[in-house]
């Protein structure tokens, strides 16, 4: 192809000699593994594996909350640092008299949940403003590759989907939320089709569906391996068609409450001009996503640049209950080589398609379609305890994801057709995943918990909703592949609809920061010092030297 | 690759710096002390926020890439183009037919396409954008949709187009028209929707929701797993 010729100047990164030697073993065992079935873990084996190797179980990685609605309950340290933190605003000094925007519904966050909520609210004729920290669409939704679950085939049912979810979540999920999720799933697929999303289909319209880790039916619907991107760009295009005001680079940095404690709006920060924008609303929907850029336990992350749990911080200060915030999902297959893209996602779909996980000697060690918590734990065990990992020149360790099996099992050309993003991701660096395996290690992927919601996305704070990854309860302690793209749309739409319908009667009082003043008092009493502030907004990846120089000049604004 | 500590010289917006060579354009900028707001999104090559143009000193060619996916190279002079000024018209997708008229109604400039291939050469996804435009001009919505499917809407094609076409907006209109009008609809989905509407699953789900953990675990561990298709 002409283009391929033209772009040969790209930097090529090659496997080291040591890695090559291991790849030879992988190639040698491949013919034996093609038809090999690897046993699934028994319930007690899985329990032991998680307890010994899952990062959640490592002592000292979570602590008790000392203030707020979940006082006394455990929370992951990195999340604790943002929820038990002072506001960026001074409640005594902030001037809230100039209200710049009045709207029925404010959606905070421009990912899939936010876009779905905005569309659903607009459908009910509410006026809608959507604000977001980066560009509209910069979100984890955009990066989701593998698929979206829905029980819509004859051999499947919402009840079977329900059972898979509960088992995957360790039977801790909130049943009413799971019921809503599985029952709405087919209608979400229909909605996406009507909006013009391009799913993988047979010529008669039958969806091409696959397994994911922990599914008992093949119910993963996909759009090649750009499923999330296809959903996001379709929803974004539709929002832009629908008279919804979108404000980019302007995250909410605080919520507003009236004297009764109801949420009546938010303060946005235009990060480009450092100007505050006061928004008064009847209903507010937080859809700010996850927390990967806080780097729990210093893991790399598959998340986008803005995933700093901002919504969790705002919601906790205003009095929301959190749920399952002591557990984080690590995706089994983050990139371990090339090191300059380490941590980036390699979709679980590769394993759905037949790629196996093998160690330095080319041996399998886990059934690849166990739930994510179990597969990630097995990889950690293989590398850390059994020392059967493969070391990269830069000192990272990983196991092989034997991707060449996909073309062998599914037919020549199928990897390229079904996983073009993955082929491209490695081809950019000169690695061909159709002929060579790729090196992987777990990477932080998902915030299992978040703000506790009900079936309409409502929180315990009046007029405040949460949808998407920022919400908690749906997935319990471990989410299955393909249920996040589903949950953002199910609960985004439910929250948007309910908020818009109820905004007709609502009339909020005068906006204040009373809740912030109250929370600050609690923090002070607990001995937490004001140098801990949130929302974090963006991670800081400058080198230590560069940071020290900047500190000397006292930079202002969002930094 | 040579030793990882060896440095290369790069020019950030023309300004000279030395950085280790095992970095991408994005991470090199950060290490130097740039704290990015625009020009950084997913950091994984999926969102198109970090479109970048560059030259290697001594080479006349203007190259393009994503800052998060492009390793630095000695003599690289680059600039990010984090935003492309393009206006997106509003349309009601349900009222449009999947044909040439729909594309031309909103993007009449597509007929100015010279088939010069500048768009394809600029595409960091290596898509055959020229063929997408050729299909668009023929009104072949299905081909335009299929060939443009991996587009991340970074805008680099549009910055290089002498006909001033915004290819990524044309392409998403084609894809949405294909998805909603031309893609075959699924029968099994409609059947399931009707069943759900009739309340067929309500009782079973209510029963599951009221089960104890032990009862659920028993069902879960005994559940039948559908075989992977060969």
Structure tokens at B58: 């001594």
Is A54 one of the catalytic residues? no
Residues A16 and A49 grouped into a single domain: yes
Residue B230 in domain: no
Q: Sorting pLDDT into bands at 50, 70 and 90, what band is A286?
A: very high
pLDDT digits (tens, 9 = 90+) for A74-106: 999 999 999 999 999 999 999 999 999 999 999
**Quick one: pLDDT at residue A4?**
38
Please judge whether A138 and B42 are an interchain contact, meaning their C-beta atoms are less than 8 angstroms apart: yes
| Domain membership flag for residue B156 | yes
B105 and B148 in a single domain? The answer is: yes
SS3 (DSSP) at A401? strand
Task: Give me A554's structure tokens.
Answer: 């006292």
Res A559: pLDDT: 62
| pLDDT score for A6 | 40
Q: Judge if B168 and B148 occupy the same domain.
A: yes
Same domain for B173 and B200: no
A143 with A9, same domain: the answer is no
Boundaries of domain holding A297: 83-327+448-503
- What pLDDT was estimated at residue A2? 34
Pairwise CB contact (< 8 Å): A341 & B126: no
For chain B, positions 49-108, list CB contacts with chain A under 8 A.
49, 56, 63, 68-71, 73, 88, 90-94
Per-residue pLDDT, B227: 86
The pLDDT tens digits for A140-151 are: 999 999 999 999
Residues in A touching B217 (Cβ below 8 Å)? 43, 167, 171
pLDDT digits (tens, 9 = 90+) for A494-546: 999 999 999 988 777 899 999 999 999 999 999 999 999 999 999 999 988 88
pLDDT for B2 equals 41
By Cβ distance, the residue of B186, B196, B210 closest to A205 is B186
% of residues, chain B, pLDDT over 90: 94
Same domain, A233 and A308: yes
Q: Count of domains in chain A?
A: 2
Q: In chain A, pLDDT over 90 holds for what percent of residues? A: 93
**B197 inside domain:** yes
**Same domain assignment for residues A415 and A494:** no
| pLDDT at residue B1 greater than cutoff 90 | no
Q: Would you say residue B87 lies in a domain? A: no
Same domain for A300 and A430, yes or no, is: no
Predicted confidence band of residue A1 (pLDDT cuts 50, 70, 90): very low
Q: How many other CB atoms are there within 10 angstroms of residue A50's CB atom? A: 21
Residue B205 within any structural domain of the chain: yes
What are the angstrom distances between the C-alpha of A418 and each of A199, A217, B153, B176, B180?
Answer: 12, 19, 20, 20, 21
pLDDT digits (tens, 9 = 90+) for A10-30: 678 899 999 999 999 999 999
Chain A residues within 8 A of B73 when measuring between CB atoms: 11
Say what the pTM is: 0.96
Q: Is residue A152 pLDDT above 60, yes or no? A: yes
pLDDT tens-digit series, residues B12-31: 999 999 999 889 999 999 99
- Mean pLDDT score, A196-204: 97
pLDDT in tens, A201-246: 999 999 999 999 999 999 999 999 999 999 999 999 999 999 999 9
pLDDT above 70 coverage of chain B, percent: 97
**Per-residue pLDDT at A3:** 37
Residue A223 tokens read as 């759009």
CA distances from A482 to A215, A221, A353, A488, A558 (A): 10, 8, 15, 11, 34
| Distance, CA of A236 to CA of A223 (rounded, Å) | 17
Q: For residue B140, what are the domain limits?
A: 93-182
Determine contact: B208 vs chain A, CB below 8 A.
yes
* Whether residue A281 is found in the same domain as residue A323: yes
Is the pLDDT assigned to residue A422 strictly greater than 80? Answer: yes
Same domain, A410 and A479: no
Report pLDDT for B228. 75
CATH number of the domain bearing residue A154: 3.50.50.60
Kindly give, in sequence order, each residue whose CB lies less than 8 Å from that of residue B229, ignoring residues fewer than 6 positions away.
Answer: A218
Confidence of residue A129 (pLDDT cuts 50, 70, 90): very high
Q: What is the DSSP letter of B143?
A: H
Given a cut of 50, whether residue A461 has pLDDT beyond it is: yes
Structure tokens, A383: 């590398």
Q: Do residue A42 and residue A124 come from a single domain?
A: no
Burial A209-228 (b: 16+ CB within 10 A, else e): bbbbbbbbbbbbbbbbbbbb
Does A117 share its domain with A250?
Answer: yes
Closest chain A residue to the Cα of B203, Cα to Cα: A159
Q: What is the pLDDT of residue A196?
A: 98
**What confidence category does residue A550 fall into, taking pLDDT thresholds of 50, 70 and 90?**
low
Write down how long chain B is.
230
- Number of folded domains that form chain B: 3
- With CB atoms and an 8 Å threshold, state whether A549 touches B33: yes
| Nearest C-alpha neighbor of A140 from the set A252, A291, A311 | A291
The CATH number linked to A405 is 3.90.700.10
Is B229 part of any domain?
no
Mean pLDDT of chain A: 95
Give me the long-range contacts of A25-31 (CB less than 8 A, separation at least 24). Answer: A25/A360, A25/A361, A25/A362, A26/A358, A26/A362, A26/A400, A26/A402, A26/A437, A27/A362, A28/A362, A29/A358, A29/A361, A29/A362, A29/A363, A30/A362, A30/A402, A30/A404, A30/A405, A30/A408
Q: Is A351 in the active site?
A: yes
Minimum-distance CB partner of B221 among A13, A43, A218: A43
Among A61-65, A396-400, A547-551, the least confident range: A547-551
If asked whether residues B213 and B157 sit together in one domain, one would say: no
Mean pLDDT of A42-50: 96
Statement to judge: residues A414 and A473 lie in one domain: no
pLDDT at res. A555: 54
Contact residues, chain A, for B117 at CB < 8 Å? 2
The whole-angstrom separation of Cα A351 and Cα A310 is 33
Measured distance CA(B166)–CA(A58) in Å, rounded: 51
Average pLDDT over residues A449-459: 98
What pLDDT score does A310 carry? 98
Q: What is the mean pLDDT of residues B109-121?
A: 97
Query: Are A171 and B216 a contacting pair at CB < 8 A?
Result: yes
In a domain, A553, yes or no: no
């Amino acid at each position: 192809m002409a283009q391929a010729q033209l772009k040969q100047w790209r930097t090529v990164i090659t496997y080291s000699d040591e890695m090559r030697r291991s790849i030879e073993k992988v190639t040698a065992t491949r013919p034996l593994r093609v038809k090999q079935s690897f046993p699934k873990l028994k319930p007690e084996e899985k329990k032991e594996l998680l307890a010994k190797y899952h990062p959640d179980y490592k002592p000292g990685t979570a602590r008790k909350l000392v203030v707020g609605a979940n006082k006394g309950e455990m929370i992951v340290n990195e999340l604790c640092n943002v929820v038990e933190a002072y506001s960026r605003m001074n409640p005594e000094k902030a001037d809230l008299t100039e209200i710049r925007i009045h709207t029925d519904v404010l959606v905070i966050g421009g990912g899939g949940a936010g876009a779905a909520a905005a569309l659903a609210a607009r459908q009910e004729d509410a006026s809608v403003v959507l604000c977001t920290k980066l560009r509209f669409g910069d979100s984890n939704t955009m990066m989701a590759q593998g698929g979206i679950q829905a029980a819509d085939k004859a051999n499947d049912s919402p009840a079977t989907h329900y059972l898979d979810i509960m088992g995957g979540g360790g039977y801790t999920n909130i049943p009413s939320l799971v019921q809503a999720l599985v029952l709405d799933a087919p209608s979400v697929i229909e909605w996406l089709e009507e909006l013009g999303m391009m799913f993988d289909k047979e010529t008669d319209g039958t969806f091409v569906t696959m397994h994911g880790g922990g599914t008992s039916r093949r119910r993963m619907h996909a759009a090649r391996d750009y499923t999330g991107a296809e959903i996001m760009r379709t929803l974004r295009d539709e929002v832009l068609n629908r008279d919804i005001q979108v404000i980019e680079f302007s995250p909410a940095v605080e919520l507003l409450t009236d004297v009764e404690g109801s949420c009546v709006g938010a303060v946005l920060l235009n990060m480009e001009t450092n100007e505050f924008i006061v928004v008064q609303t009847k209903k507010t929907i937080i859809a700010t996503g996850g927390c990967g850029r806080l780097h729990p336990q210093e893991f790399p992350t598959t998340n986008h640049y803005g995933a700093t749990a901002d919504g969790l911080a705002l919601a906790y200060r205003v009095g929301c209950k959190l749920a399952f915030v002591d557990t984080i999902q690590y995706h089994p297959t983050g990139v371990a080589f090339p090191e300059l893209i380490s941590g980036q996602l390699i979709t679980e779909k590769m394993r759905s398609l037949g790629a196996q996980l093998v160690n330095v000697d080319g041996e399998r060690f886990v059934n690849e379609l166990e739930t994510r918590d179990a597969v990630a734990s097995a990889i950690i065990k293989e590398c850390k305890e059994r020392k059967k990992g493969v070391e990269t020149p830069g000192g990272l360790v990983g196991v092989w994801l034997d991707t060449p099996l996909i073309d062998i099992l599914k037919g020549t050309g199928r990897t390229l057709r079904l996983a073009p993003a993955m082929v491209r991701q490695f081809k950019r660096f000169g690695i061909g995943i159709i002929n060579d395996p790729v090196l992987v290690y777990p990477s932080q992927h998902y915030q299992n918990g978040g703000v506790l919601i009900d079936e309409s996305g409502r929180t315990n704070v009046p007029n405040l909703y949460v949808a998407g990854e920022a919400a908690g309860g749906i997935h319990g302690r471990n989410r299955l592949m393909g249920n996040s793209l589903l949950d953002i749309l199910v609960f985004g739409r439910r929250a948007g609809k309910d908020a818009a319908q109820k905004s007709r009667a609502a009339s909020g009082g005068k906006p204040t920061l009373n809740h912030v003043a109250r929370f600050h008092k609690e923090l002070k009493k607990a001995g937490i010092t004001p140098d801990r502030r949130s929302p974090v907004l963006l991670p800081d990846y400058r080198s230590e030297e560069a940071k020290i120089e900047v500190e000397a000049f006292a930079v202002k604004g969002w930094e | 690759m040579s030793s990882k500590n060896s440095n290369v010289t790069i020019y950030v917006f023309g300004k000279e710096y030395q950085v280790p060579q095992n970095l991408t354009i994005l991470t090199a900028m950060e290490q130097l002390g740039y704290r990015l707001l625009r020009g950084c999104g997913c950091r994984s090559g999926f969102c198109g926020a970090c479109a970048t143009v560059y030259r290697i000193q001594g080479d006349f060619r203007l190259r393009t890439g994503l800052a998060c996916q492009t390793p630095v190279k000695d003599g690289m002079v680059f600039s990010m183009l984090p935003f492309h000024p393009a206006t997106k018209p509003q349309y009601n997708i349900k009222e449009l037919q999947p044909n040439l008229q729909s594309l031309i109604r909103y993007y009449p400039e597509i007929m100015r396409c010279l088939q010069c291939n500048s768009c394809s050469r600029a595409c960091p996804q290596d898509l055959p954008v020229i063929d997408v435009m050729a299909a668009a001009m023929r009104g072949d919505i299905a081909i335009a949709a299929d060939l443009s499917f991996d587009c991340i809407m970074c805008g680099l094609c549009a910055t290089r187009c002498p006909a001033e076409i915004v290819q990524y907006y044309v392409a998403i209109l084609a894809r949405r028209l294909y998805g909603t009008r031309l893609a075959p609809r699924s029968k099994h989905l409609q059947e399931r929707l009707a069943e759900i509407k009739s309340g067929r699953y309500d009782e079973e789900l209510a029963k599951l929701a009221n089960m104890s953990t032990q009862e659920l675990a028993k069902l879960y561990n005994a559940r039948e797993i559908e075989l992977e298709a060969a």
